[in-house]
A and B are shown apart, each in its own frame.
Chain A
Amino acid sequence: KQEVTQIPAALSVPEGENLVLNCSFTDSAIYNLQWFRQDPGKGLTSLLLIQSSQREQTSGRLNASLDKSSGRSTLYIAASQPGDSATYLCALPGSGGYQKVTFGTGTKLQVIP
């Protein structure tokens, strides 16, 4: 059974700071790993999808890395902005060839102006 843990649970940083969010998982037999953003009272916005054969993906100020052997992924946010304040979730589909996704516990980020 896949277990996904995110550290830290909450993070508060001043605007402009670079930051790293961590995700660890127990079963390395994954198809992909996805990072989402969830704003309060809202749904999930997909940020980045890393295939199991890839080591990293970049989108704008976001960079996600994947190390299957160690069961870890990181989400790097450069030059943080107040609009980045949200809960960030990492998610992995299980084995079996389809996307029964297991979500991490989330990191609640607050960027202070």
Chain B
Amino acid sequence: NAGVMQNPRHLVRRRGQEARLRCSPMKGHSHVYWYRQLPEEGLKFMVYLQKENIIDESGMPKERFSAEFPKEGPSILRIQQVVRGDSAAYFCASSPTGTGDQPQHFGDGTRLSIL
């Protein structure tokens, strides 16, 4: 039973390019969460999605960042016109329900480096 799969593991982009990070949740999980871990900082919530719906995006920067979780395929976190400050580890988690009695299962993250 595969866990949460994130790809790529490492992504290098130049300033101004676009970064697309993918997350495939565990089988049977329809709830996906994205977190960001800036260097030497803790993990911060970004966005919570269910299939085809954004439930809570209160942690997303107002500009350049977007997320989707289509009916088919992985969840995508898109960062447009990347800047040096976007360099971080981006983690995805999934759960079978959105309720608090279920643990979140995390992927190994995508480490984004901006040149």
Contacts and interface: CB of A to CB of B under 8 A. Distances in A.
A105 B42 contact: yes
A92 to B, nearest CB: 9
Interface residues of A, number: 26
B70 interface: no
Given A43-B106, A43-B107, A97 B98 contact: yes
A44 B100 contact: no
Interface string A41-52: 111111001011
A70 interface: no
A93 B100 contact: yes
Given A46-B103, A49-B103, A104-B42, A98 B98 contact: yes
Most buried by A among B43, B45, B99: B43
Contacts of A42: 108-109
A93 B33 CA distance: 12
Interface string B42-83: 111100100000011011000000000000000000000000
Given A89-B43, A101-B33, A101-B45, A32 B108 contact: no
B24 interface: no
Given A44-B91, A105-B42, A100 B101 contact: no
Contacts of B44: 103
Given A100-B56, A101-B45, A105-B42, A34 B100 contact: no
Nearest to B59: A100
Contacts of A100: 33, 45, 48, 56, 58-59
A98 B99 contact: yes
A104 B43 CA distance: 8
A31 B100 contact: yes
Contacts of B1: none
15 contacts: A32-B101, A44-B91, A44-B93, A46-B105, A51-B101, A97-B99, A98-B100, A99-B31, A99-B98, A99-B99, A99-B104, A100-B48, A100-B56, A101-B104, A102-B45
What 4 A-B pairs have minimum CB-CB distances, sorted nearest first?
A: A31-B100, A98-B98, A43-B108, A44-B106
